[in-house]
């Protein structure tokens, strides 16, 4: 089935807020094999809403509208939808009671008359009760199309999608199953990867689709199969994923839907290994990537952002003469940073970064984008120099990914880890 998402609000169009709702909704639809064909952001005006609904009806089977359900005069979604469906608004007593109870709990005094309008819903709609907010969602089925009107507040929208919308969508095609298999690859570009598995992909049956989901330094592969025989879908999808994994070899680091930092956290925790970081040009980004993962405290001991040379010397025990001879951005210094961090934090592994992130600070010998990274392990220290480009943000992201990849490679070499 095809879907379209319409976000309503002038605050989105003028850049006051970023539309994160649409991306999240699309992520929830993907496992159900509902493809989002278009995402539109429109003004909170009657003509704009009516026109968007008309166009969406021509393109999609499922239309999801978020925003514009508030009680104030600038929220005209419900009135416009009522005119579009040639129906009226009615006050739902259960929703009204819910709104009154919320105001009573908040002890904000008598509920203003305008807030009672939160309980007004389309007469032809199924009410999607909002347990976490005042504005209910609405579901309308008309001309073989399915319309969902949801509040724009993210946590309310997410609740309604998970508890009200997805169950409705599952009931629309109860005999259709969707099965997904995943591979996480690191260190190989999307085009090279595609070329290596071209024959396997070409031989896949039509009910299995392969999606390439690239990010800096890694590519996720998602195999999606749709059909009526779940066991056959699972068997065939896993078989093709295994063929791809065997072809790509060590580039495949996981056969599940997991982030690279989460994989590192899990494997280090399983092996009872501890990690520390000493970052200069990445400014703590490596540590942030890892500690964003729940459970990172089981393996991450600590880190230091050693921007100034004096911190490198005093805390990480970098030799001052080495700094003078080779400069902070050098393999010699970054090696001592990693080894110093490992000793200072008492860990099994340590990562260190030093470079010229940009946009200034470069020289002919050490241009912007030059980054030195070291990973100190149980028995050796790996050191490598990278030459990225001129964008500071991307340089930091690339350096962070390169550091994690080096850590993983040394961990594999020393720990003989394997995909389970």
Query: Could you report the per-residue pLDDT of 120-173, keeping only the tens digit for each?
Result: 999 999 999 999 988 899 999 998 999 999 999 999 999 999 999 999 998 887
* pLDDT digits 0-9 by tens, 11-69: 899 989 999 999 999 999 988 878 899 999 999 999 999 999 999 999 999 999 999 88
What are the percentages of helix, strand and coil residues in the chain, rounded to 5? 45, 25, 30
What are the Cα distances from residue 199, in Å, to 195, 196, 214, 219?
8, 8, 20, 19
What domains does the chain contain, in order, with CATH numbers?
2-172 (3.40.980.10), 177-254 (3.30.70.2860), 267-415 (3.90.950.20)
Task: State the chain's mean pLDDT as an integer.
Answer: 93
Quickly tell me which residue has 């999808």 as its tokens.
237
Provide the pairing of β-strand 62-66 with 145-150. Answer: parallel
pTM for this predicted structure: 0.78
pLDDT > 90: percent of the chain: 82
Checking if the pLDDT of 303 tops 60, the result is yes
Work out the pLDDT band at 108, boundaries 50, 70, 90: low
What is the rounded (10 degree) CA torsion for 171, 172, 176, 180? -80
Whether 362 and 368 have beta carbons less than 8 Å apart is answered as yes
CA dihedral (75, 79, 84, 89) positive or negative? positive
Q: Which of 279, 294, 296 is nearest to 352 (CA)?
A: 279
């Amino acid at each position: 089935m095809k879907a379209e998402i319409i976000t309503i609000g002038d605050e989105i169009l003028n850049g006051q807020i970023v539309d994160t709702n649409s991306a999240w909704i699309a992520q929830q639809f993907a496992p159900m094999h509902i493809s989002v064909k278009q995402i539109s952001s429109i003004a909170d005006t009657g003509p704009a809403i009516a026109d968007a609904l008309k166009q969406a009806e021509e393109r999609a089977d499922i239309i999801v509208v978020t925003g514009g359900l508030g009680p104030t005069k600038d929220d005209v979604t419900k009135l416009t939808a009522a005119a579009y469906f040639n129906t009226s608004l009615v006050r739902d007593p259960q929703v009204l009671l819910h709104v009154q109870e919320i105001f009573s709990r908040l002890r904000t005094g008598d509920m203003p008359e305008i807030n009672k309008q939160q309980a007004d819903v389309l007469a032809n709609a199924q009410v999607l009760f909002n347990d976490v907010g005042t504005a209910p969602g609405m579901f309308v089925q008309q001309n073989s199309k399915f319309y969902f009107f949801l509040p724009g507040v993210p946590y309310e929208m997410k609740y309604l999608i998970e508890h009200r919308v997805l169950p409705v969508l599952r009931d629309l095609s109860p005999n259709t199953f969707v099965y997904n298999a995943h591979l996480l690859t690191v260190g190989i570009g999307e085009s090279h990867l595609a070329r290596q598995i071209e024959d396997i992909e070409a031989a896949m049956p039509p009910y299995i689709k392969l999606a390439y989901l690239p990010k800096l330094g890694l590519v996720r592969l998602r195999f999606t199969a749709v059909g009526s025989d779940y066991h056959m879908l699972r068997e065939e999808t896993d078989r093709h994923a295994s063929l791809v994994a065997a072809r790509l070899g060590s580039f495949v680091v996981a056969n599940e839907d997991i982030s690279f930092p989460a994989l590192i956290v899990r494997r280090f925790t399983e092996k009872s290994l501890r990690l520390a970081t000493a970052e200069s040009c990445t400014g703590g980004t490596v540590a942030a990537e890892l500690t964003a993962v729940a459970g990172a405290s089981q393996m991450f001991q600590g880190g230091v952002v050693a921007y100034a040379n004096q911190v490198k010397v005093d805390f990480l025990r970098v030799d001052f003469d080495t700094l003078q001879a080779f400069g902070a951005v050098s393999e010699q210094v970054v090696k001592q940073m990693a080894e110093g961090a490992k000793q200072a934090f008492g860990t099994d592994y340590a990562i260190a970064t030093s470079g010229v992130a940009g946009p200034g600070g470069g020289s002919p010998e050490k241009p912007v984008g030059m980054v030195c990274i070291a990973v100190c392990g149980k028995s050796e220290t790996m050191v490598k120099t990278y030459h990225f480009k001129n964008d500071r943000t991307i340089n930091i992201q690339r350096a962070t990914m390169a550091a994690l990849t080096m850590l993983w490679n040394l961990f594999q070499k020393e720990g003989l880890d394997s995909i389970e």
